[in-house]
Amino acid sequence: MKKAYFLAGSMAALVTAMPAWAAEGEAEDQNDIVVTAQKREQRLIDVPQSVSVVSGEALENIQATNFSDYLKLVPGLQLNQTTAGFGRLVIRGVNTGGVASTVAVYQDETTFGSSSGLVNGAILAGDFDTFDVERIEVLRGPQGTIYGASSMGGVLKYVMNKPDTGGFEARARASLETTKGGDESYLGSAVVNVPLGETLAFRASGFYRDFGGFIDSIGTAGSDVEDDINSSKSYGGRASVLFKPSETFSVQLSAYLQNLKTDASNSVDSSPATGRTLYGRLSQSQFVPEGTDVRYRVYSGIADLDLGFASLVSATSYSTLSQNFRGDLTTQFGGLIQAVFGTPNDFFQGQLTRVRRFTQEFRLQSPENDSFEWLVGGYYTRERGVIDQSFNAVQPGTLTPITGLPLLGVANLQSRYRELAGFANATIHFGQRFDLTFGGRYSGNKQSALQVSDGVLAGGPNTLPIARSSENVFTFSVAPQFEVSDQATIYARVAKGFRPGGPNVLAPGAPPELGSYDSDSLISYELGVKAETVDRSFSIDIAAFYIDWKDIQVFGQVNNFGINFNGGKAKSQGLEFTTSLRPTQGLTFSLNGAYTDAKLKDDTPPQVGGLSGDALPYTPKYSVSANADYEWELGGETTAYVGASIRSLSKQPAGFDFAFRSANGRQRYLPSYEVVDLRAGVDFGKYSLELYAKNLTDAEGKTSLEAPANIPLGAAGTAVIRPRTFGVTLTAGF
């Protein structure tokens, strides 16, 4: 997470994941599952695109609390992450390491994070806690028609449990975990649902996660400094009120907050050539202790009015994100400061990123119809971002500032983003077996940015000219679907997605043509099959895709300032599948996997370092997950279950690095790995007891890599998954 340069753009149900439409859910048929991928309730088998769903029950059974816990349930979904709150989601390989996101994160109707590349939106994906979530929907491929900008790779959508007027509910969970070579972890959560009459209900939930550290800090001479430095805490909750005075009108108001604090990143010193861990243990060398503090706030209101001929939906939200971190830059600047000022020092960068976002969407949509269904809507968002940075020299081994030095470096980048869009989507039913779904979206956005900097490292006081940009973009989707039988469908889909461009705040001496960068866009071609047997003992969901991506956004440096560029073209092609088998009652096997071949078709600008034919970052070519679960009755209301899963990922490319490629004749890769999990539990009705093991074989799975220039001793920094962990969970419900 270190940045060695100034701003200017960026300164710096069981546990298994069988096809969700073959799992239990609530619909006209209790064995169907309903999703809102097209912003209306539909059976998943009727949705002509690739969608994965993970139920809330499955999330609890695998002891999931964040992104990294449920990746194994979703083929083709990857996470590039150094520490909690700093995560980049990747779907189908759509990632070039740029600073704007390619996967949109939603909580119900609220889009979260930033559409702009000026506040590092790509690494600020909302890693919401998964407690009291009804389900998670993962929509693959561009979703620009209905979900708008920054969803060119797909959408990850948290569908939260709603207040229920039907009855009182209270439930609590507590867990204790122990990790190899690390401290213990303590987790707790609780939820209560209270009907307040026949038309009003209130629901509140809260959670607290205290994860013990497992990485040791060593001095630059290799000596021990501190054990288990990367502990973290996550805590927060959600409150929601539902008012439904009639069957034709409802209003839901919700507030969500979450804080994530870490004492150090999950990065370990590793070989620059192979990415493998150095020194025979999980450790990192550092001069200055690093830490993060990330805060999410989401406030939303959803109103739904049935007009008879159509339903009118209003979705209003206001969200904030705050990300504060301290990064060790002693390797880059400590020697310079000592050479110029004669003062031994440690050196760090402090950065505070803040995003405030308001959104309003109105939709008018028809009821279900045997011949024609339609949806039209309008969307508005206003976003403000601020990045404050400071560069500081401190007494070695402390955080005490060194007196007598001039101002070393400060910078402030303020950005504005506005977008207005209109969209429409429709489905024509040609008889009983053939449907055609199509839609389009026209959007316009305006952006501006102002940067002020000062200090000797910034060349003295400097206010750069205000940078501005604007653009209009049209996206579309077309998806025919043929129902072979009541249990099988074949579909095709062509869709366009885009990511907004924006202004660059230029460094002194930078070419003026770099004053802005354009949106990038892609067109995706997808062909898929969904099928199941009549008794639903076997099901399969398979999709093949090809993505043609142009004007890709990439990130590099000009005069030590971060700049966004447009590169050439890239492509991604592959196959995803999920299948399940239930040979007898209570026994389930499932298998999912993805093959993804994502590459550059052109060289990137030389400041970025990617060459034609290079694989796109942080997407393994192969990933496979297998799950097995068995549930049986012990008598009365008591049931028991056991389960196991394994996930295997092939080696994956790290970020573009021209110097490494030139010296070694190849890209830098992270090694392949496999993760094995076990679980077992007994449900006594009101109470349940669960035992589990995560990463049973203690694999050192790597999820990101930081170049050696930022790490002491010439090592590379690679983020590592949590080592072997054993845990126990007790749940009580009323």
pLDDT digits (tens, 9 = 90+) for 407-429: 999 999 999 999 999 999 999 99
If one compares 589 and 119, the residue with the highest pLDDT of the two is 589
Q: Please determine, for residue 290, whether its predicted confidence score (pLDDT) is greater than 90.
A: no
Per-residue confidence at 68, pLDDT binned at 50, 70, 90? confident
Predicted pLDDT at 30: 52
How confident is the model over 480-501, as a mean pLDDT?
Answer: 94
Question: 703: closest CA among 643, 588, 595, 619?
Answer: 619
Q: How far apart are CA 25 and CA 17, in angstroms?
A: 13
Token pair of 109, please?
């109707």
Q: How far apart are CA 523 and CA 500, in angstroms?
A: 15
Token pair of 152, please?
């060119």
Question: 120: closest CA among 141, 103, 98?
Answer: 98
If one compares 343 and 508, the residue with the highest pLDDT of the two is 343
Predicted pLDDT at 19: 36
Per-residue confidence at 17, pLDDT binned at 50, 70, 90? very low
Q: Alpha carbon of 19 to those of 242, 364, 540, 542: distances in Å?
A: 31, 30, 7, 10
Predicted pLDDT at 13: 31
Q: What stretches of 679-728 show up as alpha helix (H) in DSSP?
A: none
Predicted pLDDT at 436: 97
The DSSP call for residue 505 is -
Q: Which residue is listed with tokens 């048929």?
A: 29
For the chain, state the CA radius of gyration: 25
Q: Please determine, for residue 2, whether its predicted confidence score (pLDDT) is greater than 60.
A: no
Collect all residues with Cβ–Cβ distance below 8 Å to 367 and sequence separation of at least 6.
Answer: 309, 310, 311, 373
Q: Does residue 62 come out as left (phi exceeding 0), alpha (psi in the -120 to 50 range) or beta?
A: alpha
Which contiguous run of DSSP H or E holds residue 67?
Answer: helix 67-70
Which contiguous run of DSSP H or E holds residue 70?
Answer: helix 67-70
Does the predicted TM-score (pTM) go above 0.85?
yes
Predicted pLDDT at 158: 93
Predicted pLDDT at 710: 62
If one compares 83 and 249, the residue with the highest pLDDT of the two is 249
Predicted pLDDT at 29: 54
Domain definitions of the chain by residue range: 20-733
CATH code of the domain made up of 20-733 = 2.40.170.20
Question: 530: closest CA among 541, 538, 517, 539?
Answer: 541
Per-residue confidence at 212, pLDDT binned at 50, 70, 90? very high
How confident is the model over 111-122, as a mean pLDDT?
Answer: 80
Predicted pLDDT at 222: 54
